[in-house]
Amino acid sequence: MMRLLAPLVAASLLATACTSPALAEGVVATPAAKVVANEKGLKTAIFAGGCFWGIEGVFSHIKGVTSAVSGYHGGAAATATYDQVSNGDTGHAEAVKVTYDPAIVRYDELLRVFFAVGADPTQLNRQGPDHGTQYRTALVPMSAEQNRVAAAYLAQLKTSGLWKKPLVARIERAQAFYPAEAYHQDFMSKNPNHGYIRMWDAPKVAGLKRLFPGEYKAAFTPG
Protein backbone atom coordinates (compact mmCIF):
# COMPACT_ATOMS: atom_id res chain seq x y z
CA MET A 1 0.00 0.00 0.00
CA MET A 2 1.13 3.54 -0.60
CA ARG A 3 1.88 5.13 2.73
CA LEU A 4 -0.88 6.87 4.65
CA LEU A 5 0.74 9.75 6.45
CA ALA A 6 -1.16 9.64 9.75
CA PRO A 7 -4.54 8.70 11.17
CA LEU A 8 -5.61 12.35 11.20
CA VAL A 9 -5.26 12.65 7.44
CA ALA A 10 -6.32 9.12 6.51
CA ALA A 11 -9.81 10.15 5.48
CA SER A 12 -8.53 12.75 3.04
CA LEU A 13 -6.28 10.17 1.40
CA LEU A 14 -8.91 7.53 0.73
CA ALA A 15 -9.42 8.68 -2.83
CA THR A 16 -5.73 8.67 -3.72
CA ALA A 17 -3.82 6.18 -1.53
CA CYS A 18 -2.75 2.72 -2.68
CA THR A 19 -3.19 3.45 -6.37
CA SER A 20 -2.17 0.59 -8.65
CA PRO A 21 -1.36 0.61 -12.38
CA ALA A 22 -2.01 -3.00 -13.33
CA LEU A 23 -4.76 -5.59 -13.41
CA ALA A 24 -5.86 -7.39 -10.28
CA GLU A 25 -4.16 -10.60 -9.22
CA GLY A 26 -5.70 -13.88 -10.29
CA VAL A 27 -6.92 -16.74 -8.18
CA VAL A 28 -5.65 -20.31 -8.11
CA ALA A 29 -7.68 -23.45 -7.48
CA THR A 30 -5.52 -24.81 -4.68
CA PRO A 31 -5.95 -28.45 -3.60
CA ALA A 32 -7.45 -29.68 -0.37
CA ALA A 33 -4.78 -30.39 2.21
CA LYS A 34 -3.55 -33.95 2.53
CA VAL A 35 -2.66 -33.28 6.16
CA VAL A 36 -5.61 -31.80 8.04
CA ALA A 37 -5.68 -29.95 11.33
CA ASN A 38 -6.99 -31.53 14.51
CA GLU A 39 -7.98 -28.67 16.81
CA LYS A 40 -10.81 -27.95 19.23
CA GLY A 41 -12.04 -24.68 20.66
CA LEU A 42 -11.42 -21.20 19.30
CA LYS A 43 -7.93 -20.84 17.79
CA THR A 44 -5.84 -18.02 16.40
CA ALA A 45 -3.31 -17.90 13.59
CA ILE A 46 -1.43 -15.13 11.79
CA PHE A 47 -1.18 -14.73 8.04
CA ALA A 48 1.07 -12.25 6.22
CA GLY A 49 0.45 -11.73 2.53
CA GLY A 50 0.98 -8.20 1.32
CA CYS A 51 -1.41 -5.38 2.12
CA PHE A 52 -3.42 -6.39 5.16
CA TRP A 53 -6.61 -4.77 3.85
CA GLY A 54 -7.25 -7.58 1.40
CA ILE A 55 -6.14 -10.43 3.64
CA GLU A 56 -8.39 -9.15 6.42
CA GLY A 57 -11.21 -8.77 3.90
CA VAL A 58 -10.92 -12.36 2.70
CA PHE A 59 -10.86 -13.91 6.17
CA SER A 60 -13.72 -11.68 7.30
CA HIS A 61 -15.93 -13.36 4.70
CA ILE A 62 -15.20 -16.95 5.80
CA LYS A 63 -17.69 -18.92 7.88
CA GLY A 64 -16.25 -19.84 11.25
CA VAL A 65 -13.91 -16.83 11.46
CA THR A 66 -14.91 -14.80 14.49
CA SER A 67 -12.32 -12.04 14.17
CA ALA A 68 -9.71 -10.79 11.71
CA VAL A 69 -7.44 -8.00 12.92
CA SER A 70 -4.92 -6.14 10.78
CA GLY A 71 -1.56 -5.48 12.35
CA TYR A 72 2.20 -5.85 12.35
CA HIS A 73 3.94 -9.12 13.18
CA GLY A 74 7.50 -9.18 14.44
CA GLY A 75 9.74 -6.20 14.95
CA ALA A 76 9.61 -4.01 18.03
CA ALA A 77 6.74 -2.23 19.73
CA ALA A 78 8.42 1.15 19.36
CA THR A 79 8.34 0.95 15.55
CA ALA A 80 4.98 -0.80 15.12
CA THR A 81 3.31 2.14 13.40
CA TYR A 82 2.22 2.38 9.80
CA ASP A 83 4.58 5.24 8.98
CA GLN A 84 7.61 3.36 10.30
CA VAL A 85 6.68 -0.10 9.04
CA SER A 86 6.15 1.36 5.57
CA ASN A 87 9.86 2.16 5.39
CA GLY A 88 10.51 -1.59 5.11
CA ASP A 89 13.33 -1.65 7.65
CA THR A 90 11.60 -2.43 10.95
CA GLY A 91 11.33 -6.20 10.57
CA HIS A 92 7.56 -6.20 10.80
CA ALA A 93 5.22 -7.81 8.29
CA GLU A 94 1.78 -6.45 7.54
CA ALA A 95 -0.32 -9.33 8.81
CA VAL A 96 -3.75 -10.40 9.97
CA LYS A 97 -4.49 -12.21 13.22
CA VAL A 98 -7.39 -14.58 12.61
CA THR A 99 -9.55 -16.14 15.29
CA TYR A 100 -11.62 -19.09 14.09
CA ASP A 101 -13.71 -22.03 15.21
CA PRO A 102 -12.19 -25.32 13.99
CA ALA A 103 -15.60 -26.97 14.26
CA ILE A 104 -16.66 -24.80 11.31
CA VAL A 105 -13.43 -24.11 9.43
CA ARG A 106 -10.12 -25.91 10.01
CA TYR A 107 -6.67 -24.35 9.86
CA ASP A 108 -5.77 -26.33 6.74
CA GLU A 109 -8.90 -24.97 5.04
CA LEU A 110 -7.82 -21.43 5.91
CA LEU A 111 -4.42 -22.18 4.37
CA ARG A 112 -6.10 -23.39 1.20
CA VAL A 113 -8.13 -20.21 0.87
CA PHE A 114 -5.16 -18.00 1.72
CA PHE A 115 -3.05 -19.34 -1.14
CA ALA A 116 -5.98 -19.58 -3.54
CA VAL A 117 -7.17 -15.98 -3.33
CA GLY A 118 -5.17 -14.13 -0.68
CA ALA A 119 -1.49 -14.19 -1.59
CA ASP A 120 0.76 -15.35 -4.42
CA PRO A 121 3.39 -17.60 -2.77
CA THR A 122 5.91 -16.97 -5.56
CA GLN A 123 6.35 -13.25 -4.90
CA LEU A 124 9.31 -12.38 -2.68
CA ASN A 125 8.86 -9.36 -0.40
CA ARG A 126 5.95 -8.08 -2.45
CA GLN A 127 2.35 -8.64 -3.45
CA GLY A 128 0.84 -6.99 -6.48
CA PRO A 129 1.83 -3.31 -6.55
CA ASP A 130 3.36 -3.33 -3.07
CA HIS A 131 7.10 -3.84 -2.53
CA GLY A 132 9.20 -4.26 0.60
CA THR A 133 9.97 -6.80 3.31
CA GLN A 134 6.84 -5.71 5.17
CA TYR A 135 4.83 -7.28 2.32
CA ARG A 136 6.42 -10.73 2.56
CA THR A 137 4.19 -13.80 2.45
CA ALA A 138 4.44 -15.87 5.60
CA LEU A 139 2.47 -18.28 7.72
CA VAL A 140 2.77 -17.75 11.45
CA PRO A 141 1.52 -20.87 13.27
CA MET A 142 0.50 -20.37 16.88
CA SER A 143 0.80 -24.01 17.91
CA ALA A 144 2.72 -27.17 17.12
CA GLU A 145 -0.34 -28.54 15.36
CA GLN A 146 -0.62 -25.51 13.10
CA ASN A 147 3.10 -25.70 12.36
CA ARG A 148 2.77 -29.35 11.36
CA VAL A 149 -0.13 -28.64 9.04
CA ALA A 150 1.43 -25.49 7.56
CA ALA A 151 4.72 -27.24 6.75
CA ALA A 152 2.87 -30.13 5.13
CA TYR A 153 0.70 -27.86 3.03
CA LEU A 154 3.60 -25.76 1.79
CA ALA A 155 5.39 -28.96 0.80
CA GLN A 156 2.24 -30.13 -0.98
CA LEU A 157 1.92 -26.87 -2.90
CA LYS A 158 5.56 -26.96 -3.96
CA THR A 159 4.94 -30.22 -5.83
CA SER A 160 1.49 -29.25 -7.14
CA GLY A 161 2.66 -27.67 -10.38
CA LEU A 162 0.18 -24.82 -9.95
CA TRP A 163 2.84 -22.13 -10.25
CA LYS A 164 5.64 -21.84 -12.79
CA LYS A 165 7.89 -19.93 -10.39
CA PRO A 166 9.36 -21.34 -7.17
CA LEU A 167 7.37 -20.83 -4.00
CA VAL A 168 9.01 -18.42 -1.55
CA ALA A 169 6.27 -18.25 1.08
CA ARG A 170 7.69 -19.28 4.43
CA ILE A 171 6.81 -20.22 7.97
CA GLU A 172 7.84 -17.70 10.62
CA ARG A 173 8.15 -18.22 14.34
CA ALA A 174 5.36 -16.49 16.23
CA GLN A 175 6.46 -13.18 17.69
CA ALA A 176 4.60 -10.18 19.02
CA PHE A 177 1.58 -8.99 17.04
CA TYR A 178 0.71 -5.32 17.18
CA PRO A 179 -2.78 -4.30 16.01
CA ALA A 180 -2.68 -1.64 13.32
CA GLU A 181 -4.16 1.81 13.69
CA ALA A 182 -7.95 2.03 13.99
CA TYR A 183 -8.41 3.44 10.48
CA HIS A 184 -6.92 0.25 8.99
CA GLN A 185 -9.35 -2.07 10.75
CA ASP A 186 -12.29 -3.38 8.65
CA PHE A 187 -10.96 -1.18 5.86
CA MET A 188 -12.61 -3.08 3.01
CA SER A 189 -15.99 -3.00 4.69
CA LYS A 190 -15.77 0.70 5.46
CA ASN A 191 -14.26 1.74 2.11
CA PRO A 192 -15.69 -0.53 -0.61
CA ASN A 193 -15.23 2.10 -3.33
CA HIS A 194 -11.60 2.89 -2.51
CA GLY A 195 -9.55 2.53 -5.71
CA TYR A 196 -7.09 0.05 -4.20
CA ILE A 197 -9.87 -2.07 -2.74
CA ARG A 198 -11.75 -2.22 -6.03
CA MET A 199 -8.66 -3.04 -8.07
CA TRP A 200 -6.80 -5.47 -5.82
CA ASP A 201 -8.91 -6.69 -2.93
CA ALA A 202 -12.51 -6.98 -4.10
CA PRO A 203 -11.37 -9.58 -6.69
CA LYS A 204 -9.93 -11.66 -3.84
CA VAL A 205 -13.31 -11.81 -2.12
CA ALA A 206 -15.01 -12.51 -5.45
CA GLY A 207 -12.56 -15.38 -5.93
CA LEU A 208 -13.39 -16.69 -2.47
CA LYS A 209 -17.09 -16.69 -3.30
CA ARG A 210 -16.50 -18.43 -6.63
CA LEU A 211 -13.98 -21.08 -5.55
CA PHE A 212 -15.25 -21.74 -2.03
CA PRO A 213 -19.03 -21.19 -1.98
CA GLY A 214 -19.38 -23.46 1.04
CA GLU A 215 -16.93 -21.41 3.12
CA TYR A 216 -17.98 -17.97 1.89
CA LYS A 217 -20.42 -15.78 3.77
CA ALA A 218 -21.76 -12.48 2.48
CA ALA A 219 -21.64 -10.68 5.83
CA PHE A 220 -18.34 -9.06 6.82
CA THR A 221 -17.14 -10.08 10.29
CA PRO A 222 -15.62 -7.01 11.95
CA GLY A 223 -12.32 -7.36 13.75
Report the residue count for the chain.
Answer: 223
pLDDT at 3 exceeding the cut of 50: no
CATH among 2.40.128.260, 3.40.50.2300, 1.10.1840.10, 3.30.1060.10 for 33-211:
3.30.1060.10
Where are the chain's structural domains?
33-211
How big, in percent rounded to 5, are the helix, strand and coil portions of the chain?
35, 15, 50
Of the pLDDT bands very low, low, confident and very high (cuts 50, 70, 90), residue 8 is very low
Cα 166 to Cα 121: distance, rounded to the nearest angstrom: 8
Q: Under the phi-then-psi rule, with left for phi > 0, alpha for psi from -120 to 50, and beta for the rest, what region is 189?
A: alpha
Report the candidate in 58, 130, 138, 26 with the shortest Cα–Cα distance to residue 92.
Answer: 138
Cα 65 to Cα 84: distance, rounded to the nearest angstrom: 30
Of the pLDDT bands very low, low, confident and very high (cuts 50, 70, 90), residue 1 is low
Q: For 135-183, what is each residue's pLDDT tens digit? A: 999 999 999 999 999 999 999 999 999 999 999 999 999 999 999 999 9
Record the pTM. 0.90
Q: For 188-216, what is each residue's pLDDT tens digit? A: 999 999 999 999 999 999 999 999 999 99
Q: Which sequence positions are flagged as catalytic? A: 51
122: phi then psi, degrees, rounded to nearest 5: -95, -5
